[in-house]
Amino acid sequence: MSVKRVLITGACGEIGQALVQGLAQQGNHQIVSADMVSLPESIKSLVAEHVQGDLINKIKIFYDYDFDVIFHLAAQSYVPVSWDDPWDTLENNIRAQANLLDGLAKLGATPRVVVIGSNEEYGLVRPEDLPLREDSPLRPNNPYAVSKVAQDMLGLSYFQSHKIPVLRVRPFNHIGPRQGESFVVPSFAKQIAMIEAGHQEPVIRVGNLAARRDFTDVRDVVRAYYLVVMHGQPGEVYNIGSGRSRSIQEILDCLVSYCRVAVRVEPDPARMRPSDTPEIRCDAHKLHAVTGWEPTIPLEQSLRDVLDDWRARITAQTAG
């Protein structure tokens, strides 16, 4: 298919910025970004137009454009926050997408819409369920996961009822530069960068280190999004992941090995989740069969890039 005009909601987040950069490398795309905040300098030159506004209340402002593809990334994406205020996460994630799809249906517009789900949809995973396929049971065990199941099913329902060519993806854990410190890898990386800069005592505070997750570099993930748009079947859902699980302990050990000073590790009860699945592992054979996608960036490189990103941030903050 030919892709000319693209809308990316949530473009200012880590994934959104990576997607903008990835699409810009493909060339011949006019990218319109949308977010509640102003556009970061890192992608300003790559975006034709930026629309700033609340996707829940002002989503109608996008209906004046004729898009070939919409990547709907905008969402509250942090699980602990969803426990603090469940309704805020449910409203943010479900209502914005419902408004978007309903608006497209009323206009009779049929751009390809990529709906971003999550491996969290699979929820309470049993060992016999692994690796997780697209037809594995959905047992969401936190409010964020519930919101993602709802987004997933909303996408399917508008495909079935209004023939909007919705493509659904369920990315597993992603990591990469610019990710917020509320996630486990950047949390470790920031602490290490702060310790190295002398701004924190040499202690890394951690949550559950036994949990195993399937990590993929965000740059590989957004490449999968693009390939799904180009080759995926509307109405279908595709897992995105490496197919290998790593313990949080392994992640921590690797980051600590890059640390320039001696540190110690201490458990922090505040970092423990009310419910935590022991292992998550992806089966991405369906995606590979349709698009040929495979991850290309080694985990060790991703971790080093995250740590270097935080080192640069801390240096810039100190200089400022």
pLDDT tops 90 at residue 147: yes
Could you report the per-residue pLDDT of 224-254, keeping only the tens digit for each?
Answer: 999 999 999 999 999 999 999 999 999 999 9
Give yes or no: residues 170 and 252 share one domain. no
- Mean local confidence (pLDDT), 117-131: 95
Q: What is the pLDDT of residue 103?
A: 87
Q: What is the pLDDT of residue 180?
A: 86
How many structural domains does the chain have?
Answer: 2
pLDDT tops 70 at residue 170: yes
pTM listed for this prediction:
0.94
Query: In this structure, are residues 72 and 47 in contact, taking their beta carbons and an 8 Å threshold?
Result: no
Could you report the per-residue pLDDT of 53-68, keeping only the tens digit for each?
Answer: 776 565 555 666 789 9
Task: Residue 203: give the domain boundaries.
Answer: 184-212+245-280+297-319
The whole-angstrom separation of Cα 51 and Cα 13 is: 14
Q: What is the pLDDT of residue 62?
A: 60
DSSP secondary structure of 231-278: HPPTT-EEEE--S--EEHHHHHHHHHHT-SS--EEEE-GGG--SS--S
Could you report the per-residue pLDDT of 23-62, keeping only the tens digit for each?
Answer: 998 878 899 999 999 999 999 999 999 988 776 565 555 6
Is position 287 within any domain?
A: no
Give yes or no: residues 42 and 69 share one domain. yes
Q: What is the pLDDT of residue 163?
A: 97
For residue 234, which phi and psi values (nearest 5 degrees)? -50, 140
Give yes or no: residues 202 and 307 share one domain. yes
Give yes or no: residues 198 and 135 share one domain. no
Nearest to 34 by CA among 1, 3, 67: 67
Is position 285 within any domain?
A: no
Q: What is the pLDDT of residue 57?
A: 60
pLDDT tops 80 at residue 154: yes
The CATH number of residue 85's host domain is 3.40.50.720
- Mean local confidence (pLDDT), 144-168: 98
Is position 113 within any domain?
A: yes
Give yes or no: residues 194 and 232 share one domain. no
Q: What is the pLDDT of residue 107?
A: 87
Give yes or no: residues 76 and 132 share one domain. yes
